[in-house]
Structure 1
Amino acid sequence: MGTLVTDSQQSTEATSAEKAKAFAKSRRGPILGAIFLMATSAIGPGFITQTATFTATLGAAFAFAILVSILIDLAVQMNIWRMITVSGKRAGDLANSAVPFSGHVLAVLIVIGGLAFNIGNIAGGGLGLNALLGMDAKIGGLVTGLLAICIFLFKRAGRVVDVVVMVLGVGMIVMTIVVAIVSNPPIGDAFRQTFVPDELNFATITTIVGGTVGGYITYAGAHRYLESGLTGPEHVKDVHRASFQGILVTGVMRYVLFLAILGVVASGVVLDVSGQGANPAGAAFAAVLGDAGFRIFGFIFWAAAITSVIGAAYTSATFLSVFSKTLKGGWPLQLATVAFIVVSLVVYLLIGTAPAALLVFVGGFNGLILPIGLTIFMYIGWFRQKDVLGGYRYPVWLLVIGTLATALTWYMGAVSVGPIFAFLTA
């Protein structure tokens, strides 16, 4: 009898282990999707344009801004991912549970910033297809928007999003590395100025931080991770690992893109960063590999654009759930995402292609939004752990670096608000 019980227990344990393994495997897609959704959202056409613009004007000194953006990214994302997944709530709902209606205010800011960014993303898609295929930029923007809409009309849109952002994300990184190698940048000077820059510009840092972690980008990966089902304090280690991997992917892409363009600038090529038709990133890639380089730029720019359209629309739509619980998930959320893309597309078709200055400005604007959300989350971490996070004992070291990042973003926003809005008149 004892043997029979033992065999039964072993069989039950084996079955449980198999189920756990199968569950973990089924969650791998959403987790990888969350990592790449955060990464590709952070590397949109606005960021590529910003990198080309600032590298052309600052040279190797821009490396310091990238370093600061990565450090702030670490402090921000590790805190945001952990709080959202421990609580099992989206950012707007979590904010409301701590400070009534603060989630509604945050949602309005995110949606406004996301809409502005998405207009630029769709315009970037048009510019990318124009460089890649010679397609009219306006038609290219229309095609990009329609493709993004089609993705969210699939019944299992989440799986399609995961595959699209992963494939295009890897393609962007590989192609940019190739261009960076060929451009032969002054790596020694870039490394030195990563830590000791010859020139320091807070407006530049605020803009690049806003373009890579501000606005909707702050919450894109964490909101997608919630759909993996691996939430609660027991999954903190997995969340920490995933958020770090996402930051690593974005950090590598940022620095490699900077090196690719720095090689061009250091060789004496002057990139046009002014005027309505300026395309400094495209000019940089063309200077390295000629027509082939311009077409590679087209693919990278288009891939960055459509993945950012997906990220901006999805994340902005998830914030709308603070106004209506029917938008928590499923078809209502997918249709809200489609509606967000449709509005962005219509506005784009009405106003035309966004100039480089608008893409740079939107990044700065999202940088100004960033400290508002961070302040709410730091308040939760310091003072509302017991009721809002279910008594989870939050790591003090994580709160300290999060608070330092929040203070830094407030300071940078205060000293940069004027120069950022000046981009609109550039």
Structure 2
Amino acid sequence: MSDTPPTSPSAAKAALRGSFMAAIFLMATSAIGPGFITQTATFTAKLGASFAFAILASILIDFVVQLNIWRITALTGRRASETANMAIPGAGYLLAVLVIIGGLAFNVGNIAGAGLGLNAMLGLDPKIGGGLSALLAIAIFLSKRAGLLLDQMIIGLGVVMILLTVFVAVVSNPPVGEALRQAILPDTIDFATITTIVGGTVGGYITYSGAHRLLDKGLTGEHNLAAVSRAALTGIAVTGLMRFVLFLAILGVVASGVTLDLSSQAANPAAQAFAAAAGDWGMRVFGLVLWAAAITSVIGAAYTSVSFLTVFRPMDDRARNIATVIFITVSLVVYLSLGTAPAAILVFVGGFNGLILPIGLTIFTYVGFARADLMGGHRYNRPLLILSAIVCALTWYMGFKSIGPIFAFLGA
């Protein structure tokens, strides 16, 4: 899904700025899908202000993961699976299979989230709303201007999500001071929670969404490295802001004494929180936020997952768009056959993606340390690599510690 290069210097500058904004918001909106919204409401109801520590941990991990993967991807000029195969033969195929499986599972939840969003906003049947949302995403990829439509929709809906969630956070009047204290000194630390929230915001396909979008825009090489780093940092700031604001919006409701229902399969704790904060209008705001998060995540999951298929066979833009349409269609068929994905599934898939994260990060850390030949001879920034190695070890440890609790949560 590449775009025709502009002809004038001013147009080229504007196109470059737009390319970085598109990558930033593709990463940000992919990281803030219906799964993350459900996870945030579920864990805030369980842990209260202590969940701030998990949010902060996810932002710090996100900083290291995204910055390194965006930079190394720009230096190699190749998609993650191709880089992995060249670094460790066969590793790219494994990474591609895991990312595609995780992306497909997440996309079923994303379509379900879109259906629930339109149900809350307009009263539509969730299956009809999910089907219409999937058809909208398919129409974007079938369009001759797919790249431009993708960028404009991702940026526009990303801004809407942030503004509406800030409004609800102000209305719910959360205990900000207590949240900030527990972000540093939490009363409770839960590794399964951290792994799940990290998986839902930077695990699986999400890690590579913005980096692969920059590749399609041709923004590679050492001369673009500084700009790529700024874009990655901006993207992390946007996602971090949205995560914390959403947490505060729900914390304000929980701290006021409202008990969110987490017991039934049909429970929608995030919807309950928005409704408690702002009544019927709050429910409609929640619907729009959830739909925007879901439809952008449908697009992001499909786009990024299909970008991994190129490791098995080369694909031009048209072939990739067709494959993306098929990917969304399969997700829709699975969703319609299962019905609305319960909250437990959305939380579990976040945990699964969190287990995928250390595999890809290990490969990229190895490339940074030992495979300068894949980066055009560039000697990669050592402090960033050391941070990457630390986070890599941490994500392996968290994944190991949380395997049991994640599967127990699914069975609960």
TM-score calculated relative to the size of structure 2: 0.97
Deviation string, structure 1 residues 355-405 (Cα, Å, up to 9, x no partner): 0000000000000000001111111111111x2111111000110111111
Contact kept, 8 Å, 1:96 with 1:102, in 2: the verdict is yes
For 1:216, give the aligned amino acid: Y
Distance (Å, rounded) in 2 between the aligned partners of 1:256 and 1:25:
30
Letter in 2 for 1:99: I
1:109 alignment partner in structure 2: 98
Counterpart pick for 1:264 among 211, 233, 253: 253
Which residue of 1 is the match for residue 167 of structure 2? 178
The Cα of 1:226 is off from its aligned counterpart by: 1.1
1:158-237 equivalent positions in 2, closer than 5 A: 158-237=147-226
Q: Over aligned residue pairs, what C-alpha RMSD do you find?
A: 0.9
Q: Return the letter of the residue paired with 2:127.
A: K
Structure 2 counterpart of 1:94, which letter?
T
Q: Is the aligned partner of 1:399 residue 2:401? A: no
Equivalent AA in structure 2 for residue 376 of structure 1: I
Q: Secondary structure at the match of 2:40?
A: helix
Aligned partner letter, 1:247: I
Q: Measure, in 1, the Cα distance between the counterparts of 2:204 and 2:308.
A: 12
Shift of 1:87: 1.1
Are 2:367 and 1:375 equivalent residues in the alignment?
Answer: no
Superposed CA deviations along residues 40-68 of structure 1, whole A, max 9, x for unmatched, are 00000000000000000000000000000
Match of residue 333 from structure 1: 320
- 1:74 CA drift (Å): 0.3
Q: Does 1:357 align with 2:344?
A: yes
- Matched residue, 2:397: 411
Instruction: Provide the residue aligned with 2:143 in structure 1.
Output: 154
Residue 10 (structure 1) aligns with:
none
Is residue 99 from structure 1 mapped to residue 118 from structure 2 by the alignment? no
Contact 1:46 1:211 in 2 (8 A): yes
- 2:25 matches 1:39: no
Conserved? CA contact 1:30–1:159, under 8 Å: no
Report the equivalent of 1:72.
61
3-state SS of 1:126 partner:
helix
Q: What's 1:346 paired with?
A: 333
Q: Partner amino acid for 2:392?
A: T
2:353 is the counterpart of 1:366: yes
Partner Cα separation in structure 2 for residue 418 and residue 297 of structure 1: 32
Matches within 5 A, 1:289-304: 289-304=278-293
The correspondence of residues 247-326 of structure 1 with structure 2, limited to 5 A, is 247-325=236-314
Between stretches 140-149 and 213-222, larger displacement belongs to 140-149
CA contact (8 A) 1:358 1:423 kept: no
Aligned residue identity for 2:348: F
SS in structure 1 of the partner of residue 266 of structure 2:
coil
Distance 1:94 1:23 in 2: 29
For structure 1, the 5+ residue unaligned runs are 1-17
The equivalent residue for 2:3 is: none
Is 1:60 the counterpart of 2:49? The answer is yes
Aligned residue for 1:11?
none
**Contact (CA 8 Å) 1:45, 1:124: kept in 2 or not?**
yes
% identical aligned pairs: 65
Deviations 1:190-212 (A, max 9, x none): 01001000001000000000000
**Matched residue SS, 2:337:** helix
The alpha-carbon deviation at position 20 of structure 1 amounts to 4.1
Cα distance in 2 for residues equivalent to 1:20 and 1:232? 20
* Residue in 1 that maps onto 2:231: 242
Assess if the C-alpha contact under 8 Å between 1:30 and 1:158 holds in 2: no
The corresponding residue for 1:132 is 121
Which 10-residue stretch deviates more, 69-78 or 94-103? 94-103
SS at match of 1:324: coil
Answering whether residue 405 of structure 2 is matched by residue 424 of structure 1, we say no
Equivalent pairs, count: 406
Name which of structure 1's ranges 29-38 and 303-312 shifts more when overlaid on structure 2.
29-38
Residues 414-423 or 71-80, more deviating: 414-423
Q: Which amino acid aligns with 1:254?
A: R
In 2, Cα distance between the equivalents of 1:255 and 1:263? 12
